[in-house]
Amino acid sequence: MINKNAAEKALNLIRSRLCNPNFIFRPLCDSPDSNYSKLKFIVSSSVTEACNNSVLLLGPRGSGKVAVLELVFEDLLLEYPDMITLIRLNGLLHSDDTSAIKEIARQLCVENQLLFSKMASFDDNSEFMIAMLRECGLAHKTIVFVLDEFHLFTQGKQRLLYALLDAMQSVTSQAVVIGVSCRLDADQLLEKRVKSRFSHRKLLFLPPSEEDVYRLLDHVLSLPVDSNLPHDYAIEFNAKLCSMLSDERFRQIINSFMSFSPTVRHLVKFLFRAVSDMDLKLSYFSFENFKSAISSLQRQPKMECLRDCSILELYILVCMKRLEVKEQNSYSFSAVMKEYKSIHDSFQTSDYYSQHVCLRAFEHVLQRGLVCFVDGRGRIQSTEFRPVKLLISFAELSQGLKAHHSCPAILQKLAS
């Protein structure tokens, strides 16, 4: 009973950690070469040296751009209280220049306890923003503009970006523009007049290294020995966790998962699922918790489609795979039929059907989304003569054939 209660407390603690991005990313910010350190230096130098800066945070969704940004501001607001004003915009809400500049004016009014006018025009709000930048600069106060989904602000005439970056050219202003985007080419979307005023600083958020992944696992999953948890239980829990982290089977699971989903967000989602599967009676993590979590998260719709295919449809897919091995990038139904006939002639299989039946099976494969047409000519040309290509990899096809309940052995041999 004691262990079960301790396991419940441990489970709640680890779940709360997984829901706290600041806790998750803190150990990845220790290095002076980390994006956290670089971004903190850029913003803090603007505060202390009264200069203007602009920077882009680029990386795939879930790589920790916003989480690191929040960590930086959490620390800087403690170091420099009353010296930083934070203005947040999101391209999904404020990509229109007029609504964006109005939102900036509204947030500046709220921050400085001023009356906001909803009827003000774009020019009025622009003048107000420039005046506020000048006043804050004279008061040694930095305004930080965070533009989430930055690439959406590059649509249209980019008046907002030009107004912001042009206002920062003044020696009296003191501001930082931080763009956050999942597009690595976001800076290339800027107009020439905007690009000339941008500092071209970019911080890339890459997938975590293997060392960072295991450091993160240990940081999140291990229990503190000096907490309200039983001391002996915490020590034994950490020992079992350490043993599991060094297990080759566990490492294969983690490496396999990270090869499919190499972002911290996906790793956290995976860990939350595995932690939730922990058996409270056992009171510790097991290898099976993580094995079941990866199988539940890595749903493969194409594999599920293959599982429902008929034997003839599998033959058609294998024929297409063999044609691609022969370096035929696109081929028609007629070429697939020739390959199908050659397989029958070579191995004398019993699964041989007429061309009309094969055409129906070919159309079913198209409907399942396992194959698509190469051209876009629609119904102008007959299905039999339009070039097609496979939409599944050879590895997926081979794995799907093995998982199929009635796949002939000859097909598995041909696809291997």
- pLDDT per residue as tens digits for the range 271-285: 999 888 888 888 888
Q: Tell whether the torsion through CA atoms of 333, 336, 340 and 345 is positive or negative.
A: positive
- pLDDT per residue as tens digits for the range 46-88: 999 888 999 999 999 989 999 999 999 999 999 998 899 999 9
Predicted local distance difference test score (pLDDT) of residue 380 = 62
How many Å is the Cα radius of gyration of the chain? 29
Cβ contacts of 306 within 8 Å, gap of 6 or more: 314, 317, 370, 392, 396, 397, 400, 401, 403, 404
- pLDDT per residue as tens digits for the range 242-301: 999 998 988 988 888 887 778 899 899 999 998 888 888 888 888 888 888 887 776 677
Whole-number Å distance between alpha carbons of 87 and 96: 16
Whole-number Å distance between alpha carbons of 55 and 146: 10
How many other C-beta atoms lie within 10 A of the C-beta of residue 255? 11
- pLDDT per residue as tens digits for the range 138-194: 888 999 999 999 999 998 889 889 988 988 888 888 899 999 999 999 999 999 999
End-to-end Cα separation, the chain, in angstroms: 52
- pLDDT per residue as tens digits for the range 81-114: 889 999 999 999 988 889 999 999 999 999 988 8
State mean pLDDT over 340-358: 85
Q: Where are the alpha helices (DSSP H) in 62-121?
A: 65-79, 91-94, 97-111
Task: Scan for tokens 């499919």, then name that residue.
Answer: 260
pTM: predicted TM-score of the whole model, two decimal places:
0.71
196-202-204 Cα angle (round to 5): 155
- pLDDT per residue as tens digits for the range 364-385: 988 888 888 887 655 566 778 8
